[in-house]
Amino acid sequence: MKKIILLILIFCSSVVFGQEKVDKVSEFKKELKKTFKFSTFYAAVNGGTSLSDRNTFTVNTGQLVTDVVETPFDYSIVAGVRKIARFDYENRENVFYDGTEGHLGDNATVGKIKGFEFLFEGDYRRIQGINYFNQHHFLRYVANDWVAKVEYLKDGFVDVEYFESSQRYRYNINKKFSLNLGAAQRLSEPYGYDPLAEWLLSNGNLHYTWLAIQEGYQVNFNGPGDVVYLNPSGDVVATSTAVWEEVIIPQVLVDYVEKKRDEAPFKLEYSFVLGADFYHYEKNFWAHAWGNVMPYHVKTADEYSYHTYNGGQWVDYSGGLIFGYKLSKSLGLFAEGKYNKYWNRRWHEFSMGVNYIIF
């Protein structure tokens, strides 16, 4: 009898434990489904013609030399997932997402809806023969009286990369207009850092030859007017000062700056942030504007702090505007754009115009 009771207890506990485990898995699946509901996963390859071929002409020992500069076609490979509610003025541009869509409203601090939204997108592209790898990821949560956002941006075309998080208190003036304030943390490379500054002479000139020698180049003087310049591998790269200064040195400086920037550690900054958001929509008129300003940044002992290169405090800001006005059934005006200024980096985009439909 005791054995039977013991077996029953073991069986009951196993069933209860198993049921709890099933319930937890089921609850996790429900939350995961809720999180990704209405989100879109997308991947696409886009391409097109780049610059047309260009003829170049040079003269070598009296002979005409003709060459053709060819630029390979442009393309992009895009993959991502997004769950961002569209504002009333936004229309789905294509039946399918292909990564070329421009959603300026994504940059607003406050989204269309309350709750959780996100974007994760990677973009590898070639433009006019130059390759770029861009990334834009963010998580945003909007509540009645607070906003939190985590963002990572890497844009090779404008040469900016940073990670930013912010936590803000939100004060609603009315349903259309709100203010916010809080703290922001940014992790980035040391913008403002100039690797060539230590090579500047007292008269402002750059001691570029000595820098090249430190990087492994050699300068051999074999007599008056006879000089040979060698690269770190020992190959002759120039036999005249003109070629050395006009061809070799510029590349030496580019390589040196790029190397030193890659070696410099990322820096963490703490800033005070103020922002505002305005959104109004009617069928024939809409306006959406947002702005953020960081007027104060905590000064740290970091060797690469932007305070060092700027000589003190500075102001970073960003903002955007989307405007549309249908004056009649036929005539409409629009304007939209965004502007960012972080450290010594500035990037922006805009468009404006008029539409007239003939009925």
What band does 14 get if pLDDT is binned at 50, 70 and 90?
low
Is the pTM value of this prediction over 0.85?
no
pLDDT score of 117 more than 70: yes
Q: According to the model, what pLDDT value does residue 68 have?
A: 84
Choice between 241 and 296, residue whose per-residue pLDDT is larger: 296
Q: What is the rounded average pLDDT for all residues in the chain?
A: 87
Per-residue H/E/C for the chain: CHHHHHHHHHHHHHHHHHHHHHHHHHHHHHHHHHHHCCCEEEEEEEEECCCCCEEEEEEECCEEEEEEECCCCEEEEEEEEEECCCCCCCCCCCCCCCCCCCCHHHHCCCCCCCEEEEEEEEEEEEECCEEEEEEEEEEEEECCCEEEEEEEEEECCCCEEEEEEEEEEEEECCCCEEEEEEEEEEEECCCCCCCCHHHECCCCCECHHHHHHHCCCEEEECCCCCEEEECCCCCEEECCHHHHHHHHHHHHHHHHHHHHHHHCCCEEEEEEEEEEEEEEECCCEEEEEEEEEEEEECCCCCCCCHHHHHCCCCCEEEEEEEEEEECCCCEEEEEEEEEEEECCEEEEEEEEEEEECCC
Q: According to the model, what pLDDT value does residue 323 have?
A: 96
What whole-number percentage of the chain has pLDDT above 90?
Answer: 53
290 contacts 276 by C-beta, under 8 angstroms = yes
Q: According to the model, what pLDDT value does residue 18 have?
A: 54
Average pLDDT over residues 57-72: 81
**The amino acid at 52:** S
Average pLDDT over residues 106-126: 92
Per-residue pLDDT tens for 179-189?
Answer: 999 999 999 99
Q: Quote the tokens at residue 69.
A: 């500069």
Average pLDDT over residues 7-30: 57
Per-residue pLDDT tens for 292-347?
Answer: 999 999 998 888 889 988 889 999 999 999 999 999 999 999 999 999 999 999 99
pLDDT score of 41 more than 70: yes
Average pLDDT over residues 102-124: 90
Q: According to the model, what pLDDT value does residue 21 have?
A: 53
Q: According to the model, what pLDDT value does residue 63 have?
A: 81
User: If you count them, how many residues does the chain have?
Assistant: 359
What whole-number percentage of the chain has pLDDT above 70?
Answer: 91
Q: Quote the tokens at residue 124.
A: 């590898």
Per-residue pLDDT tens for 129-166?
Answer: 889 999 999 999 999 999 999 999 999 888 999 999 99
